[in-house]
Amino acid sequence: MPMKLKCIPYLLICILFLSCEKNSTPSTEVSQTAFNNISYEETNMEIELRTGAEWTATSMAAWCTVSQGKGTGDAKLNISVEANIGAERSGEVKIWTPDKLVTISIHQNAMPSGQEYHYKIPVIFHVLYSSQNDPKQYIPQARLTEILEKVNAYYRGETLYNGGSAGVDMNLEFVLAEKDEKGNVLSAPGVEYVKSGGMPLDCEEFMSAKKNVDLLWDPNRYVNVMLYNFAAVDGGNSIILGISHLPLSVTGSNYLEGLPPTSYNYLTKENLSYPKCVSINSLYAYEETGNDGRYNSFDVNVTLAHELGHYLGLHHAFDENDDASLTDKCIDTDYCEDTPSYNRMAYLANLTAMLQEAQQTGKTISMAEATTRENCKTGETFQSYNLMDYEICYSDRFTNDQRNRIRHVLTYSPLTPGPKKTKADTRSAASGPLDLPMVIVK
């Protein structure tokens, strides 16, 4: 009997303790559990999470992201939904706490039939410098803004300085990134300054070095443009103004001829073994054609427009072999029928002869003469205005076929910003670096 009197109070205490533990578990509520018929355009939505417990938030669809993956207590979460250029789609965001699972359903409308998507492509300039006092290393944000504005004018089809018909409007624009990868607002939109020793840098080595992947921001969300002083090549006899990687193209029905192939329709920065980006020689960051249209072969606006063309799938508008060496075979190596093929070797020989004659006689070579090429298929002459050409060229426009290639890359190629026309809800990336093909062009 005495033992029972001792055990009964102990049992009551245990029951009361368990009851308190159960009742003390915080409840979990969210301000909204369904978002229906949201726009096909990129959309951001905010929800309020009210809880006293630890929580984890996960998006179940690759086209939808949550601003914060885990935390404790109340929080405001931002749900970002990519623009939708395919069929209407549904997805879920799930929030787990110890006592509850909350599911937030999302339904996004399709883009209206017959409408073409206007791409706004975030650009982040990574300014690499060893001396903040060197204006050719530490390029100010205002200057980079000016450059990008002129690049956008070319992509809108505006001929900034030269006559002739207007170029093709690509229906896209490059915008200075407003936030970093973690969602923090940038004090200088579109620019990150990175202290780096050893200027100048060998640009080809830079574009191949796995260690430089760490400099990238997510290539699925940004175009990464690296600015640094390029080391001289060929003993200083040649100058490289810019260099870029070509985009990958997914094998199968949507493969784009002339691009390095991959079987993955979705990849992440962690899969890269090279820093997929554009590099621009900051030694020439202030060079450009004057308001009078006087030709400047070092024009940084043209250089960036040209390299972004490569980054989005364009080749040079002249005949060349796969290793970028010249050819006289008159083959269409840019896969664009509306860019006349020409023998660049023959053009260079003719240009050299004209320059020598001008030096000997004092004759002035006109821009019309210097930009004249011969179509190697038809024998007709034409003046070069294409931004993907070399040497003396008006360099201020693209063609319709080039437009189609760029928009194909934006629609289907992994590791390029913008919505993709793939089954985004089934995308999954392999883990770790992959042996992806790499093609570097200048």
What is the value of pTM for the model shown? 0.88
The pLDDT score that the predictor gives to residue 198 is 84
Stronger pLDDT, 431 or 70, i.e. the higher one: 70
Amino acid at 21: E
**139 has a pLDDT exceeding 50:** yes
Which residues share a beta bridge with 58? 94
Query: CA of 136: how far to CAs of 242, 284, 328, in Å?
Result: 15, 7, 39
Of how many residues is the chain composed?
Answer: 442
**72 has a pLDDT exceeding 60:** yes
The pLDDT score that the predictor gives to residue 65 is 87
- As a whole number, mean pLDDT of residues 225-239 equals 89
- As a whole number, mean pLDDT of residues 333-350 equals 93
The pLDDT score that the predictor gives to residue 35 is 96
The pLDDT score that the predictor gives to residue 73 is 94
Q: Please provide the average confidence, as pLDDT, over all residues in the chain.
A: 89
Characterize 343-353 residue by residue with b for buried, 16 or more Cβ atoms within 10 angstroms of its Cβ, and e for exposed. Answer: bbeebeebbee
Whether 407 and 417 have beta carbons less than 8 Å apart is answered as no
The per-residue pLDDT for range 81-135, each reduced to its tens digit, is 999 998 899 999 999 999 899 999 999 999 998 899 999 999 999 999 999 999 9
**10 has a pLDDT exceeding 50:** no
The per-residue pLDDT for range 167-187, each reduced to its tens digit, is 899 999 999 999 998 888 999
